[in-house]
Amino acid sequence: MYTLLSGLYKYMFRRDEYCILILGLDNAGKTTFLEQTKTRFNKNYKGMSLSKITTTVGLNIGTIDVGKARLMFWDLGGQDELQSLWDKYYAESHGIIYVIDSTDEERLSESKRAFEKVVTSEALEGVPILVLANKQDVETCLSIPDIKTAFSDCISKIGKRDCLTQACSALTGKGVNEGIEWMVKCVVRNIHRPPRQKDIT
């Protein structure tokens, strides 16, 4: 009887776990986005001061629960020499958040090249991609139409997958909730990448 009840409890209270990669060039605001996300979705989380965040060398990890879904974020360093490590995480991922610094027009073509490598990877076929046009709180930032135009020749390479370009300010939190909620819907309905199941603890 205990085994039956224990199994029923685990079934009712399990969470489907999804791994989400946060990619983009260095200084795009990936870690700030992750901290803002953890602060907004974890009631008792007291995050680090956003003004003290520095460039990631390696990997930052964070977890949030949204409904019955648990998102585990892997925030990977965006420096040129670290981008070669990104593909080591592709097979495990259920979704990609690609962060663009919309105030840095000079590096937009560099960001586009990195994005192209991501969307053309066979290991990520069918994986949903959320493109965050970050730093929209800065007056001189590029608009969403500007960024879509700059990345227009990537459209055919995106393939048959969910993809959204979202205005965002990781610093103020604008667009963070909307982006995460969109990603949750996409990973839950993506039958090609089933979740890992974890008991709620």
Q: Is 25 annotated as a binding residue?
A: yes
Q: Is 78 annotated as a binding residue?
A: yes
Q: Is 29 annotated as a binding residue?
A: yes
Q: Is 26 annotated as a binding residue?
A: yes
Could you tell me the two tokens for 136? 């929209």
Tally DSSP H helices, then E strands, for the chain. Answer: 7, 7
Q: Is 46 annotated as a binding residue?
A: no
CA angle 132, 138, 139 (to 5 degrees): 120
Phi and psi of 14, rounded to 5°?
Answer: -80, 160
Closest CA relative to residue 65, chosen from 45, 46, 47, 83: 45
Active site members? 79
Q: Is 24 annotated as a binding residue?
A: yes
Binding residues for Mg(2+): 31, 56
Annotated binding site for GTP: 24-31, 78, 134-137
Binding site: which residues?
Answer: 24-31, 56, 78, 134-137
